[in-house]
Amino acid sequence: MNITPRQRQEGSLERPSARFKLPESWILIVVIIVMCLIIGIAEPVFFSFENIINIIISISVISIVGVGMTMVILTGGIDVSVGGILALSATIAGSILQNKAIPIAVPIIVALVVGIAAGAFNGFCTAVLRIPALIVTLAMLSITRGLVLIYTRAQASYGFAKAFLVLGQGRILGIPNVVYLTVVFVAVGIFILNMTTFGRKIYAVGNNQTASRIVGIRVKAILISIYAITGALCAIAGLTTISRMNAAAAILAEGLEFQVITAVVIGGTSILGGRGSIGKTIIGAVIVGLILNGLQLLGVSIYYNQFLSGVILLVAVMLDMLRQRKTRE
């Protein structure tokens, strides 16, 4: 286009020097350090190698599912069915694994299919039927948990093939495979959100769905995809869990949705959509993992878990709202 730009009025404004901007999450990193110190002083076993591995493993499930949940929340949606999808895909895989004659690729693929199907169904109801995501996924939570009970009749499956156990129990160079897996999925997630056109479209949809439609983004396809991706990630997290425990029980991942959503919110991704990142979710996952581990080490009865989960989520959302107020200018 050949348009001569208007004469800019240079020098008529003083420009205040751009201040050095601290990364927004610095305060959370300080919180993490402080928490480690507090728990460590109260229970020095916190710093033991085995405990650190425990923490990392619990963070890994939240992180893997958190990759998908971040994308969902970025578009202004929510998925409270992740625990259920994980349980369903994992228990179905578990029952297939009981039959050691079947190659382990089969239960893995079946789990993935179940996860993707459940997720895609969530996405379809939200995007095409326009039912609010909260309602759809709440229903899905009940449905999946219910199906788990129907399917297993509350019987756990256990005793899986050695080859399968490598996933959850094996180590390479002293570090559990689960960790490597988590790093891979998180890295891929970050890559997709930051670097690809798909990631750009996710942010666009989260910022303004109508405008996204107008610029030619297939909003429905994007939404269905991210819920499906979340479902798939639940299945993967489920497989690592049952591999680690060498058993699949009906109460798998009870309350996972709380932990994941809390991690996303604490990390700084806005619950209203449009801004945030997976990196922030990982920081949130670390904090959640530390809280869970801390409570365990300090001997807090597990009966408190549900209560505390709710309290922490509420506090996290309140902090998020305060943060929003500050950045509204």
With contacts defined by CB under 8 A, name the span among 38-46, 140-148, 205-213, 296-304 that binds another protein: 205-213
Q: CB-wise, 8 or 153, nearer to another protein?
A: 8
Task: Find all residues with CB under 8 Å of 130, minimum gap 6, and list them.
Answer: none
Q: CB-wise, 92 or 224, nearer to another protein?
A: 224
Task: Find all residues with CB under 8 Å of 215, minimum gap 6, and list them.
Answer: 204
Site residues for another protein, 7-46, by CB under 8 A, read 8-9, 12-16, 18
Residue 321 touching another protein (CB under 8 A) = no
Residue 6 touching another protein (CB under 8 A) = yes
Print the binding letters for residues 211-250 with another protein: x by CB under 8 A, - otherwise: xxxxxxxx--------------------------------
Q: How far is the CB of 61 from another protein (least distance, A)?
A: 27
Site residues for another protein, 101-160, by CB under 8 A, read none
Beta bridge partners of 248: 157
Nearest to 286 by CA among 20, 13, 73, 35: 35
Q: How far is the CB of 8 from another protein (least distance, A)?
A: 8
CA-CA-CA-CA torsion sign (166, 184, 268, 144): negative
Distance CA 39, CA 57 (A): 18
Binds another protein by CB under 8 A, chosen from 162, 175, 198, 310:
198
Residue 301 touching another protein (CB under 8 A) = no
Q: How far is the CB of 194 from another protein (least distance, A)?
A: 9
Residue 187 touching another protein (CB under 8 A) = no
Fill in the amino acid letter for 49: F
Q: How far is the CB of 326 from another protein (least distance, A)?
A: 11
Print the binding letters for residues 256-275 with another protein: x by CB under 8 A, - otherwise: ------------------xx
Nearest to 249 by CA among 137, 157, 124, 125: 157
Question: Which residue in the block uniquely carries the two structure tokens 């058993």?
Answer: 247
With contacts defined by CB under 8 A, name the span among 49-57, 90-98, 113-121, 189-197 that binds another protein: 189-197
With contacts defined by CB under 8 A, name the span among 36-44, 53-61, 159-167, 196-204 that binds another protein: 196-204
Q: CB-wise, 56 or 73, nearer to another protein?
A: 73
Question: Which residue in the block uniquely carries the two structure tokens 């932990």?
Answer: 259
320 with 271: CB under 8 angstroms?
yes
Binds another protein by CB under 8 A, chosen from 61, 71, 127, 204:
204
Give SS3 for 248.
Answer: strand
With contacts defined by CB under 8 A, name the span among 3-11, 97-105, 242-250, 289-297 that binds another protein: 3-11
Residue 315 touching another protein (CB under 8 A) = no
Distance CA 152, CA 146 (A): 10
309-317 CB contacts, 8 Å cutoff, 24+ apart: 309/255, 309/258, 309/259, 309/262, 310/258, 312/262, 312/288, 313/258, 313/261, 313/262, 313/265, 316/262, 316/265, 316/266, 316/284, 317/265, 317/271
Residue 280 touching another protein (CB under 8 A) = no
Question: Which residue in the block uniquely carries the two structure tokens 């578990």?
Answer: 94
Please give the residue ranges that form the binding site for another protein (CB under 8 A). 1-3, 5-6, 8-9, 12-16, 18, 192, 195-198, 200-201, 203-204, 207-208, 210-218, 274-275, 329
